[in-house]
Amino acid sequence: MLIAPLLIFVLITFIFPISDMLFRSVENDIVSDTLPRTVVALESWSAESQEAPDEDVFAAFYTDLYLAQEYKTHTRLGSRLNYQQTGISSMFRKTGRRVKRFDTDVYTDQFEELDAKWADPSYWASLMNNERVQKQLPETASSYTAWRELMVEEGDNPDAETPEDFVYTSLYRDLMHLSENGASVRNADVRTAMNAVSGFESVSLKEQFIDAEDDWADPKYWATIKLYSGNYTPGYFLNAVDMEQTINGAEVKPENERLYGTLFARTIYMSLFIMGCTILLGYPVAFLLANISRRSANMLLILVLLPFWTSLLVRTSAWKVLLQQQGVINDILVWSGLIDEAGRLIMINNQMGTIIAMTHILLPFMILPLYSVMQTIPPSYVRAAKSLGANDWTAFRRVYFPQSIPGIGAGSILVFIMSIGYYITPEIVGGTQGVFISNRIAYHISSSLNWGLASALGAILLAVVLILYWLYDRFVGIDNMKLG
Amino acid sequence: MIHLPNYASPLQKFWFYAFRVICGLVFFFLIAPIVVVIPLSFNAEDFFTFTKEMLAFDPAGYSLRHYEDFFTNPDWTGALYNSIRIAPVATLLSVGFGTLAAIGLSQSHVPFKRAIMAILISPMIVPLVISAAGMYFFYSRIGLQGTYWGVVMAHAVLGIPFVIITVTATLVGFDRSLTRAAANLGANPVTTFFRIQMPLILPGIISGGLFAFITSFDEVVVVLFVGSAGQKTLPWQMFTGLREQISPTILAVASIMVLLSIMLLALVEILRRRSERIRGVS
């Protein structure tokens, strides 16, 4: 009962957001939302044919793109697909500008010439209200409905405006289809039009598209659209592990395009290195604290706790100031004559900067668990070992050290978990060589806006952290975590 | 290890002192970077190192101009104001929810106790960038992104694990017969809580609250994503300053924050000792 309010609060403010992010890493409805007709039409096309799709696909694409550029969603789709196939973004932008000026106005003119009714908005409205007509002219019905929605969205009255060219194009295609099949049509106006269309001057949409942008003739771009037309995609995850989806299934990217494998590897080995440094520096201090009087230990503990309580940004800025080429450390080294003015060390904006600053920041997280474990080791064991003839080193190695291993384990997992997710410190002192996977995630969220990839990278990182968390809980227990 | 025995060999003597020197160096490594910013912040020049005048203790080498900039520059005062507006409210939320839940969790028969505990502690474990990304996406959907309450709630949830851990620690070894005695004497559960349980666990609540406060006050990753320019906090301003053109005002801010952390540390230590004393744990 008492837990319920907090549990709900944590679920809403924390667990749902994390799930939302995980969902985004596979979600992919942008293609089917923006190009619904094209996606359906592409189903009958196969990328193995090595040829561009036929006129039906281009006609569906024409309607979709016309609507998309009205809603200004085509550039967003273009940049989304560009993550998978470079160049596609500019194709969408370029064709989006051209699509309104396609030669399809010949259809509009010819229909209006045939019968002035076709220019009458209210005639259209009543015709499209007829269920039988809707069934016989499916493309037209879909285009007309989409056009009406667009008008309403733009604040225009669809009952007072003549439909756009793409609706007439759909009408032409539907009627041609009917007349080729020799279907019987009950509606007199539609029948007249059906009999007339075979004499109409026609326009190839495929040619129109290729005229606007040569690349639409290249099947590889269509393969990309088809590949990403599903509502869910493994594409982001593949990308996050340096693979890509191709028509032949998942493949490893060429060597020069691999990026994340190196970044993950660097995050892990630098975290391990930092962990090693904290063990090396933390162990003697914890040992000293555990083996002196409680009074002195409490005094010295303050020196460990002060950095722990000091703002992360304060410590990071201190290191930035100290490690600079014109900073305090270099000044001291020059003054003491160890290096000369020209030989000032570069200790920042590289891996060294990240390692030094993060070792400092995470050291208390190693010392505190080590200290609490070492406090429980009875000194009598070491004395017993010595009285049995062991020298100092053997007594330490065979008796004391094995008992302190749980502390090393607890501290190591803690330091490692914190280290692989670090963002702020590497961002400020890491330059380009000393950054972690977190920095790349942040970059994809705020700069490149590739949220799917950011989510996939985040999901992988989260999985690693949760496994370590589970290990920590198993071996140390989360309720045993102590603060200060 | 505490004392060097009289019969120690030269090697043992050497190691005894060498070990102390090593520990001293590690302590120096821990403390020096924090302490060094304080004198640097009084630099009269826009340098990040000690000038000749400073080393000669010439008063002309020192000035308060960076502090003056901090208290007059609207960028910094605005950031300070936002931090002061966000952190206490987030702390109150974490302490309120967290204390209730810790008391609930300490009762003997809680189903799925381990799973619930794992969920409640998770904000501390999940890397901040991931929390920030998730919150950014989800809060945008529900219209909390870029709002004051969005940031407050995000910070509150980050502070909750600390409250749970500290309050749970004070509840360990809490004598249940005290509450039973109170009930026996006719006190209702609310009275029992406020007059018996609360005073005993108060030190834990306060130190949990201090942790929650410092978490929010020091937090930068989540606020970068969840907040907008209107919620620019002190750490955010420092982060921008460090990443773009680094201004010496940062050193003045850092020195003030070091003093603040010394105060908080002292407070937590006093509370911890007091709590151990009244609960009779030593």
Residue A354: closest CA among A420, A294, A411, A442 = A420
Q: How many CB atoms lie within 10 A of CB B158?
A: 26
HEC string of chain A equals CCCHHHHHHHHHHHHHHHHHHHHHCCECCHHHHHCHHHHHHHCCCCHHHCCCCCHHHHHHHHHHHHHHHHHCCHHHHHHHHHCCCCCHHHHHHHHHHHHHHCCCHHHHHHHHHHCHHHHCHHHHHHHHHCHHHHHHCHHHHHHHHHHHHHHHHCCCCHHHCCCCHHHHHHHHHHHHHHHHHCCCCCCHHHHHHHHHHCCCCCCCHHHHHHHHCHHHHCHHHHHHHHHCCCCECCHHHHHHCCEEEECCEEEECCHHHCCHHHHHHHHHHHHHHHHHHHHHHHHHHHHHHHCCCHHHHHHHHHHHHHHHHCCHHHHHHHHHHHHCCCCHHHHHHHHCCCCCHHHCCCCCCCHHHHHHHHHHHHHHHHHHHHHHHHCCCCHHHHHHHHHCCCCHHHHHHHHHHHHHHHHHHHHHHHHHHHHHCCCHHHHHHCCCCCCCHHHHHHHHHHCCCCHHHHHHHHHHHHHHHHHHHHHHHHHCCHHHCCCC
pLDDT at B15: 87
pLDDT at A483: 54
CB B249 within 8 A of CB B66: yes
Binned at pLDDT 50, 70 and 90, residue B3 comes out as: low
* CA atoms within 13 A of residue B118's CA, in its CB half-sphere: 14
How far apart CA B178 and CA A292 sit, in angstroms, is 37
Structure confidence by residue, pLDDT tens digits, B31-51: 999 888 888 888 877 777 777
- Residue A286, pLDDT > 90, answer yes
Q: Do A479 and B168 touch (CB under 8 A)?
A: yes
Q: How far is A277 from chain B (nearest CA, A)?
A: 11
Tokens of A36: 């619904």
Q: How far is A438 from chain B (nearest CA, A)?
A: 6
pLDDT at A484: 44
Eight-class DSSP state of B168: H
Domain spans of chain A?
A: 105-197, 261-480
How far apart CA A407 and CA A416 sit, in angstroms, is 14
Interface residue B37 vs chain A (CB under 8 A): yes
pLDDT at A379: 87
Interface residue B130 vs chain A (CB under 8 A): yes
In what helix (H) or strand (E) does residue B21 lie, and over which residues does it extend? helix B10-40
- Residue B152, pLDDT > 90, answer yes
Residue A244 pairs in a beta bridge with A251
pLDDT at A237: 87
Give the angle A310-A476-A280 at the CA atoms, nearest 5°.
55
Binned at pLDDT 50, 70 and 90, residue B153 comes out as: very high
What value does the mean pLDDT of chain A take? 87
Q: CB under 8 Å, gap of 24 or more: what pairs does B238-241 form?
A: B238/A313, B238/A317, B239/A313, B239/A424, B239/A428
Q: Who has greater pLDDT, B52 or A440?
A: A440
Mean pLDDT of A350-356: 91
Q: How far is A409 from chain B (nearest CA, A)?
A: 17
Residues 210-239 of chain A whose Cβ lies under 8 A from any Cβ of chain B: none
Interface residue A324 vs chain B (CB under 8 A): yes
CB A434 within 8 A of CB A354: yes
- Residue A480, pLDDT > 70, answer no
Residue B62 pairs in a beta bridge with B43
Residues from chain B that touch A438, judged by Cβ atoms under 8 A, are 127-129
Q: How far is A303 from chain B (nearest CA, A)?
A: 7
Residue B55: closest CA among B34, B37, B39, B66 = B39
- Residue A2, pLDDT > 80, answer no
pLDDT at B281: 55
Give how far Cα A158 sits from Cα of A123, A131, A163, A390, Å: 12, 19, 8, 97
Q: Do A288 and B127 touch (CB under 8 A)?
A: no
Binned at pLDDT 50, 70 and 90, residue B282 comes out as: very low
Across the A/B interface, how many CB contacts are shorter than 8 Å? 269
Q: Which domains does chain B have, with CATH numbers?
A: 10-61 (no CATH), 75-279 (1.10.3720.10)
* CA atoms within 13 A of residue A63's CA, in its CB half-sphere: 28
Q: Among A40-49, A62-71, B88-97, B102-111, which range has the highest average pLDDT?
A: B88-97
Tokens of A432: 């380009």
Residues from chain A that touch B101, judged by Cβ atoms under 8 A, are 2-3, 5-7
Mean pLDDT of B199-221: 88
Which residue in chain B is spatially nearest to A318 when comparing CA positions?
Answer: B33
**Hey, what CATH topology would domain A261-480 get?**
MetI-like fold (1.10.3720)
Binned at pLDDT 50, 70 and 90, residue A136 comes out as: confident
**Which candidate in A7, A12, A14 is best for mutational testing of the B interface (most B CBs within 10 A)?**
A14
* CA atoms within 13 A of residue B140's CA, in its CB half-sphere: 11
How far apart CA A11 and CA A16 sit, in angstroms, is 6
Mean pLDDT of A289-299: 88
pLDDT at B170: 81
Mean pLDDT of B153-178: 87
Binned at pLDDT 50, 70 and 90, residue A481 comes out as: low
Q: How far is A155 from chain B (nearest CA, A)?
A: 25
Burial A61-96 (b: 16+ CB within 10 A, else e): bbbbbbbbbbeebbebbbebbbbbbeebbebbeebb
Of B1, B49, B141, the CB nearest to A291: B1
CB A43 within 8 A of CB A69: no
Q: Do B261 and A306 touch (CB under 8 A)?
A: yes
Residue B33: closest CA among B48, B16, B20 = B48
Structure confidence by residue, pLDDT tens digits, A380-413: 998 899 899 888 889 899 999 999 998 898 899 8
Binned at pLDDT 50, 70 and 90, residue A456 comes out as: very high
Structure confidence by residue, pLDDT tens digits, A90-115: 899 889 888 888 888 888 888 888 88
How far apart CA B246 and CA A452 sit, in angstroms, is 33
